[in-house]
Amino acid sequence: MSEPLQPGDELGDFQLESVIGRGGMGVVYRARQRSLDRVVALKLVRDDIAHLADYRERFLREARVAASVEHESVVTVFHFGEQDGRLYLAMQWIDGEDLRSVLERSGRLAPERAVAIATQIARALDAVHARKLVHRDVKPANVLLRQHEGRERAYLTDFGIARPSEAEEGLTQVGLVAGTAGYLSPERPAGWSSFTRPSATEEQADDDPSGSLV
């Protein structure tokens, strides 16, 4: 297993600057892409998952589809691949804060603001579903907010990229599903495994929690 990367380390074309988040799938860094001199959000998949051949193939395939999603409320995937045995995803850097932090600090949002954010995220999910992807983890922490051209813009992030199946994780609990408690739709406990070619029920599993974001 590779040593964890630290701020200041390099991964291919990327210089890591700081850790901005950690989750079940891996670590997200603020990084600089040196060839283009731009700041990106660089997500590195956990080593114990990334070395699995089936998972790696699925991750790369679905990352390619995710990179084709173009929408003003979807965080853009710039680049993805494998470097030194590490799977990575380079995404648009949003200089703002996530909705979870806003809600924890301010409590319930004003109705007009809540509707504006929810509308933008609903349109983002339409764009994701149109590319045959399913998010599976729509929650406030995956919605980024920033001021842009005089108005508040909402961005959906961390979407459509393969998460490990139970077999790949070595999990044995019957009925375990990916997602975040409190933001799972009623359909989700029944379980489904594919990220591509979503059924109407799978898309509904994204749409239901999007209504409870704010």
Give me the residues paired with residue 27 across strands. 22, 44
pLDDT at 171: 37
pLDDT < 50: residue spans in the chain: 160, 171-179, 183-184, 187-197, 201
The Cα–Cα gap between 196 and 134 comes to: 7
Domains of the chain by residue range: 10-92, 97-210
Beta-carbon contacts of 198 under 8 Å, excluding residues fewer than 6 positions away, are 129, 132, 133, 134
Alpha-helical runs (H) found in 96-154: 99-106, 111-130
- Give the tens place of pLDDT for each residue, 2-28: 778 999 999 999 999 999 988 878 999
pLDDT at 23: 81
The Cα–Cα gap between 131 and 85 comes to: 28
What tokens appear for 139 in the block?
């929650």
- What is the DSSP annotation of 168-193? HHT---TT--SS-TTS--TTGGG---
pLDDT at 137: 78
pLDDT at 24: 79
What tokens appear for 204 in the block?
């509904």
Model pTM?
0.76
Q: Strands across the sheet with 97-98, in order? A: 97-98, 143-148, 151-156
* 3-state SS, residue 155: strand
pLDDT at 168: 52
pLDDT at 161: 64
pLDDT at 163: 58
The Cα–Cα gap between 120 and 116 comes to: 6
- Told to judge if 98 belongs to the known catalytic residues of this protein, a careful annotator would answer no
* Phi and psi, residue 5, nearest 5°: -80, 145
The tokens 């490990």 sit on which residue? 164
Same fold, 10-92 and 97-210: no
CATH number for the domain whose boundaries are 10-92: 3.30.200.20
Q: What's the half-sphere exposure (Cβ side, CA atoms, 13 Å) at 26?
A: 23
The Cα–Cα gap between 40 and 93 comes to: 5
Residue tagged active-site, from 9, 37, 98, 137: 137
The Cα–Cα gap between 14 and 52 comes to: 24
The tokens 């599976």 sit on which residue? 136
List Cα–Cα distances, 113 to 99, 108, 152, in angstroms: 12, 10, 9
97-210: CATH, from 3.20.20.70, 3.40.50.300, 1.10.510.10, 1.10.1270.20: 1.10.510.10
Positions of E strands within the chain: 10-11, 14-22, 26-33, 38-45, 77-83, 86-92, 97-98, 143-148, 151-156
